[in-house]
Amino acid sequence: MSQHTRGKWKSLGNAVISKDEKTGIACLEPTPFFWETNTRLPMGREMSANARLISAAPELLEALRECADWLCECHEGTDQWERGQKARAVIRKTEGK
């Protein structure tokens, strides 16, 4: 099973680059442009996995919002509430807050 690029991505304006600086995604319209700095070959399995992950990001974010709301509203004062707060922190990060 192919995996997406591990680790953190760095934001560079309208692009992101992997922490090892070998993989990047320019967020240009109408479609993102993917690159690997060490090759000019067609997009490999890892980049295909990255593309799938990125394309699913809006749905993942919406699902995380729903889960965080439920955890925070129904489990105040528990470990579950703490997990909801952690999820909300990640949501704020995706929103640039």
Is-above-0.85 flag for pTM? Answer: no
Domain-wise residue ranges, the chain: 9-94
Q: Given this model, what pLDDT does residue 7 score?
A: 66
| E strand or H helix that includes residue 24 | strand 23-26
Q: What is the CA radius of gyration of the chain?
A: 16
Kindly tell me if the per-residue pLDDT of 22 is higher than 90.
Answer: no
In sequence order, what are the beta bridge partners of 23?
36
The rounded mean pLDDT for the chain is 77
pLDDT: is 27 or 87 the higher one? 87
Q: How far is CA 97 from the centre of its chain?
A: 15
Q: What is the mean pLDDT of residues 35-43?
A: 56
Q: Given this model, what pLDDT does residue 26 score?
A: 67
Please count the other Cβ atoms lying within 10 Å of the Cβ belonging to residue 7: 8
| E strand or H helix that includes residue 48 | helix 45-74
Kindly tell me if the per-residue pLDDT of 69 is higher than 90.
Answer: yes
